[in-house]
Amino acid sequence: MSKKNKIYWLEGVTEKQVKSLLNDENSKFSWLRRQRNRRVLVLFMAMGIIGTALGSYYTGLKEELRLDGSAEIVWLTVAVLFILFAVLVGYSLLRIAVRGIADAPTELLDERQVRVRDTSYRYAYQISGYLLITLLLLYLFGPEISIFSDTANDGSYLLIATLFAYASLPSMVIAWRERDI
Amino acid sequence: MSRNPEEPVFNRIEEVRTAMGLSRQELADKVGVHYQTIGYLEREEYSPSLVLALRISKTLNQEASELFSLTSFKKGK
């Protein structure tokens, strides 16, 4: 085997990264690989993604929650910190929790891991379909619901949340479904 | 005959492996899979491909038919 650290451009990973995650070199994160902890992480990620999407409706939400002055600053700070933590830190922890299987190239996985990876993409594809339907319903009927009627909404946070969901879903599916990783 | 992907393949991997004094990690290294995959196989939660079944049989010095079966192995066999 070549000693050179091969780069897998399509998957966006290197051979060293994948092997490090697949082996127990990161044993300090073994607690994260317990199914219950993985599921908690998935729930935090989902809340972070939904929170990011709701950023597009901030003005409407602010009025609905009657936030003003210092209450708004506190609420906004807590919300932004939570979303940043859930989305950015959560994503890194999620990859460690599932040993990066969702992003690993076939040649570095064994046959069961390949099946786990491929099954996760099938579920992620189906869930993505439901997400698209939700976005379509929001687009069609959102303006008739008070908190979704923000005229200043340009949909940018919705787009960021959707892209992030697409990137995270296979790992989230693995983290939720698999008993042992 | 309908295809049933969940049909279990029964095996004696754990019995033979422990008799040979091999850990899951050692067997996994010898057959080129992750040690968790050996665990899944031993719990009969994953059915191996023919190639993997033959590799495991060879590593454990067993005939494939002695190690794997579509019917449950009787205890003490």
- Per-position pLDDT tens, chain A of length 181: 456 889 999 888 899 989 888 887 667 888 889 999 999 999 999 988 888 888 877 777 777 777 777 777 877 788 788 888 777 888 889 999 999 999 999 999 999 999 999 999 999 999 999 988 988 887 787 777 766 665 556 677 888 888 889 889 999 999 999 988 8
Q: Among A164, A169, A161, which residue's Cα sits nearest to residue A53?
A: A161
The answer to whether B73 faces chain A, any CB pair under 8 Å, is no
Q: What value of ipTM does the predicted structure carry?
A: 0.86
Point out the residue among B32, B39, B45 whose CB comes nearest to the CB of A110: B32
Break chain A into its structural domains and give their ranges: 7-177
Residue pair A102/A120 in contact (Cβ under 8 Å)? The answer is yes
> Residue A176 CB: number of other CB atoms within 10 A?
17
Largest CA distance in chain A: 63
Q: In this complex, do B37 and A110 lie within 8 Å of one another by their Cβ atoms?
A: yes
Provide the terminal-to-terminal Cα distance of chain A, rounded to the nearest Å.
Answer: 25
Q: In this complex, do B46 and A181 lie within 8 Å of one another by their Cβ atoms?
A: no
Q: What are the residues whose beta carbons fall under 8 Å from the beta carbon of A65, sequence distance 6 or more?
A: A75
Residues of chain B contacting A113 with CB distance shorter than 8 Å? 34, 37
Q: In this complex, do A113 and B46 lie within 8 Å of one another by their Cβ atoms?
A: no
**CB interface of B with A, residues 11-70, below 8 Å:** 32-34, 36-37, 39-40, 45-46, 48-49, 52
Strand A7-8 to strand A13-14: parallel, antiparallel, or no bridges (unpaired)? antiparallel
Query: For A26-35, which contacts have Cβ atoms below 8 Å and span 24 or more sequence positions?
Result: A26/A96, A29/A93, A29/A96, A29/A97, A32/A93, A32/A96, A32/A97, A33/A97, A33/A99, A33/A181, A35/A178, A35/A179, A35/A180
Pick from B27, B30, B34, B52 the residue to mutate for testing the A interface (most A CBs within 10 Å). Answer: B34
Between CA B65 and CA B10 the distance in angstroms is 11
Nearest CA to CA, how far is B10 from chain A (Å)?
16
Question: To 10 degrees, what angle do helices A35-54 and A156-177 make?
Answer: 170
Q: Tell how far CA A107 is from the center of its chain.
A: 25
Residue B77 has pLDDT above 50, yes or no: no
Q: Which CATH superfamily is domain B10-69 in?
A: lambda repressor-like DNA-binding domains (1.10.260.40)
Residues paired with residue B11 on neighbouring β-strands, in sequence order: B68
Res B73: pLDDT: 82
The answer to whether B9 faces chain A, any CB pair under 8 Å, is no
Between CA A2 and CA A19 the distance in angstroms is 14
pTM as predicted: 0.84
Quickly state the pLDDT bin for B24 (edges 50, 70, 90). very high
Pick from A30, A110, A122 the residue to mutate for testing the B interface (most B CBs within 10 Å). Answer: A110
Q: What are the residues whose beta carbons fall under 8 Å from the beta carbon of B56, sequence distance 6 or more?
A: B13, B27, B31, B41, B48, B67
